[in-house]
Copies of this chain bind each other. A is one copy, B any other.
Amino acid sequence: MKRAIGIGLLGLGVVGSGVAEVLVSKADKLAEQVGALLVLKKVLVRDVNKQRMAKLKPHVLTGNLAEVLSDPEIDIVIEVVGGEHPATEYIRQAITKGKHVVTANKEAMAKHGYELLSLAEKNNVGLRYEASVGSGIPLIATFQQDLASNDISAIYGILNGTTNYILTQMAQQGLDFPLALRQAQELGYAEPDPANDVEGIDAAYKLAILSSLAFHAQFDPQDISCQGISGLAAQDFRYAREFGYAIKLLAIAKRDKDTVEMRVHPVFLPEDSQLAKVDGVYNAIQVEGDLAGTLVLYGEGAGALRASSAIVADVLTISKNIYRGVSNVLEVQLNQKLAIKPMLNLETRYYFRLNAVDRPGVLAQISKVLGDNSVSISSVIQKESDPLARTAELVIMTHSAKEEAVQKALGELRQLAVVNEVVSFVRVEG
């Protein structure tokens, strides 16, 4: 039995500082749970001379990774550097040095999860990543353990708090995207370069991680079809409301025999569905299992405290096992062969908004293009939007149609002389 468990921390940004704070301020309570003290031995930082939180002793800081990884008293390495490089290499090296690893790194786990988990298994150490998706919302362990008896048929996730905050502002305040984004940036909810969030890339990483757990297979996040929210405008939310929908950026994985639909894009969601009611910076994940039925897990998906909740929980799990002399290895079971279903094979309903010339016969031309492509219209709203320019706004909801047909029809609509622009395009879910 170990009397103390040594911890090395890689990164002392917002999340890293939060984790250090928790490890120090909750030291007694954590020790009571584990049976041994958790001691923060070394913290890798870029600049050891920068002013840090008061509770960290200066000799704990180092600018040299090798000092952390070669310390024989460090059992667990926490990686909160973030991003693909050099974090992935840090994780790999820590594992190879026989350290258990806890990471919050969605990009590293989405792109290199299988390799890293296999490496951990080979090196007989644990690799846990609860904080990588949904922060403090219990998701990874839920799939690994509580849902293990289920065949999962679908995952629907609001996995990015930044975009959900922006969409909520657009819906509730009637803001257009650029203004809503600027407000989110001013509040610190969006990065100066927001592309990763608003283009759906962050959500795609998280979807890849959850899907690999749900379907026991490997997925490359780059194969996930991604559409961001920057094309939406305030009036799309007004039309959505008229039709009884909310607009959310959803990450969707649906299993259909040996294929999985995987996609991240804005959707029209029926306004009385659980996920439609998730507002602001909150995240929520809906899971459909053959035994558990519909589950929804809801919470804040970002922030130093939220991430610390999951990271320190992972550290506790590993520490208890170390203390009890129990293996921390999780067998990697990603042996299912599942292909991602091509996006063009999708069948769903669609909303689109066009700017067209306002003269007789325009709707007939547009309807004909859709009809010729077997895309059947369920509702049309036409509004005279600019009397001077003689342009009209046309909103179309379709019945269920094939994505391939819809894309072909949209291409042809763009060619029509009477269509100035296909302004927005949103798929309907549920």
Contacts and interface: CB of A to CB of B under 8 A. Distances in A.
Interface of A: 22, 26, 29-30, 32-33, 35, 130, 136-138, 141-142, 145-151, 274, 277, 289-300, 303, 305-306, 308-310, 312-313, 315-317, 324, 326-327, 331, 333
A145 B326 CA distance: 16
Contact of A146 (B32, B138, B315, B333): B138
A149 to B, nearest CB: 4
A294 B316 CA distance: 21
B277 A310 contact: no
A292 B306 contact: yes
Nearest to A298: B296
Nearest to A290: B305
10 contacts: A138-B147, A138-B295, A142-B142, A142-B146, A274-B298, A277-B277, A289-B309, A291-B309, A292-B306, A295-B299
Contact of A295 (B291, B297, B316): B297
Contact of A313 (B145, B306, B324, B327): B145
Contacts of A313: 145-149
A150 B310 CA distance: 9
Given A292-B305, A296-B296, 19 more contacts: A22-B291, A30-B149, A32-B333, A33-B333, A137-B295, A138-B142, A138-B295, A141-B141, A146-B309, A146-B313, A147-B313, A149-B308, A274-B298, A291-B309, A292-B309, A293-B299, A293-B306, A295-B297, A296-B297
A317 B145 contact: yes
B149 A289 contact: no
Contact of A148 (B35, B290, B316): B316
A324 to B, nearest CB: 7
Which of A145, A274, A297, A310 neighbours the largest number of chain B CB atoms within 10 Å of its CB? A145
Contacts of A312: 148-149, 291
A294 B305 CA distance: 12
Given A145-B141, A149-B312, A317-B145, A296 B293 contact: no
Given A22-B149, A146-B313, A297 B294 contact: no
Nearest to A143: B138
A415 to B, nearest CB: 45
Contacts of A299: 292-296
B300 A293 contact: yes
A294 B289 contact: no
A142 to B, nearest CB: 5
B309 A150 contact: yes
Contacts of A315: 149
A286 B210 CA distance: 23
A306 to B, nearest CB: 6
B291 A149 contact: no
Nearest to A142: B138
A148 B313 CA distance: 6
Nearest to A329: B324
- Return the 9 tightest CB-CB contacts between A and B, nearest first: A291-B309, A138-B146, A136-B292, A149-B312, A292-B309, A296-B298, A295-B299, A293-B300, A149-B313
Which of A147, A149, A324 is most buried by chain B, counting CB atoms within 10 A of its CB?
A: A149
Nearest to A316: B148
A317 B145 CA distance: 7
A317 B147 CA distance: 11
Contact of A300 (B136, B294, B327): B294
A298 B297 contact: yes
A393 B292 CA distance: 45
Contacts of A316: 145, 148-149
Contacts of A151: 29
A138 B149 CA distance: 12
Nearest to A137: B295
Contacts of A295: 136-138, 297-299
